[in-house]
Amino acid sequence: MTRRRRHAAGMTDTSSDVTTVVDDYLAAWNERDEQRRAELIERAWAPGGKLIDPPFDGEGHDGISQMAAVMHEHYAGHRFERASAVDMHHEHLRFAWRLVGPDGSVAVSGIDVADLAADGRLARVVGFFGDLEPAR
């Protein structure tokens, strides 16, 4: 059974639409211009969306934008890249990412696990940094 939902632009979601939402989310993180970042966040995130990362969290479009601004202060010149396909079932998805420096080195990598809102945009994203420890 294929699940389909409608997002803000009125398009029916497919796996490529979910990948576009994730890519818009990462593009928002990379955007230094506040107005352009706000547009990308609005496209990717439901209004009450919540982003939870190990160092801090943000809620709503403004809170998420502030998190991106802080990242730019601490990692000047770095960019987020999607490092895997987007894996999805029901309204849940996950994907790997990396934060790449101006010289191409990877500063940090991780995985995000997300829930989608009814309109196909992100409702909640929980980020994890680094690799998991091996089982003992």
| pLDDT tens by residue, 18-37 | 999 999 999 999 999 999 99
Q: Specify the DSSP class assigned to residue 135.
A: P
Q: Tokens 């089982």 map to which residue?
A: 135
- pLDDT tens figures, 91-106: 999 999 999 999 999 9
User: According to the model, what pLDDT value does residue 27 have?
Assistant: 98
What pLDDT is stored for residue 12 in this prediction?
A: 42
Listed by start position, the domains of the chain span 15-129
Per-residue model confidence (pLDDT) at position 16: 72
Kindly report, residue by residue over 47-93, the tens digit of the pLDDT: 999 999 998 999 999 999 999 999 999 999 999 999 999 999 999 99
CATH code: domain 15-129 is 3.10.450.50
Instruction: Return the SS3 of 93.
Output: strand
